[in-house]
Amino acid sequence: MKALKQRSTCPISTSLDVLGDKWTLLIIRDMVFAGKSTYGQFLQSAEKMATNILADRLAVLESQGLLTKAVAADKKSKFTYRLTEKGVAIVPILVELVLWGAQHSATTIDPSLLAELQTGKDAAVEKYQRLARAELRS
């Protein structure tokens, strides 16, 4: 059990109690936009997160009910992490972070994805939420 301390009852503050660090949302990003689902896949991201931090954050996310951990279908030595509905509900936050980053910093992003988010934000949110639920990719 990873108990988090709640600093106040403000919804923004309680959200940040869980999501407010440099790594947690990157894990969810990898699950939503890159279809990743295993420990090894998360480690391969460009930001190179440390193994102990990843293990810690996955434990927090599981204990907070944002994702579930299960033995992989193919190998017993692998685990598959999947988003719960509470985790899927993070997608709108990720989309806003993409838009703000793309518009106010030097970043690299697939132009068609950016256009998709800018012109039809709600539709794009629903699309990626559907993908995350179904886990259609690999």
Partner DNA sequence: CCTTTGCACTTGCAAATCGCAAGCAAATGT
Partner DNA sequence: ACATTTGCTTGCGATTTGCAAGTGCAAAGG
96 binds, among a second copy, DNA, none (CB under 5 to 8 A by kind): a second copy
**Hey, which residues between 4 and 23 contact DNA (CB under 7 A)?**
21-23
Say whether residue 138 binds DNA (CB under 7 A).
no
Q: Tell me the window of 17-25, 53-61, 72-80, 129-137 that interacts with a second copy (CB under 8 A).
A: 17-25
Q: Which CB atom, from 44 or from 71, has the smaller least distance to a second copy?
A: 44
Say whether residue 15 binds a second copy (CB under 8 A).
yes
Contact in structure between 24 and 61 (CB atoms under 8 Å): yes
Quickly tell me which residue has 């108990």 as its tokens: 3
Q: State the DSSP string of 100-119.
A: HHHHHS-----HHHHHHHHH
70-77 LR contacts (CB < 8 Å, sep 24+): 72/38
1 binds, among a second copy, DNA, none (CB under 5 to 8 A by kind): none
Nearest Cα neighbor of 87 from 64, 107, 108 is 64
Say whether residue 126 binds a second copy (CB under 8 A).
no
In the list 3, 52, 74, 104, the residue contacting a second copy (rule: CB under 8 A) is 104
**Hey, which residues between 75 and 134 contact DNA (CB under 7 A)?**
75-79
Q: Is 80 helix (H, G, I), strand (E, B) or coil?
A: strand
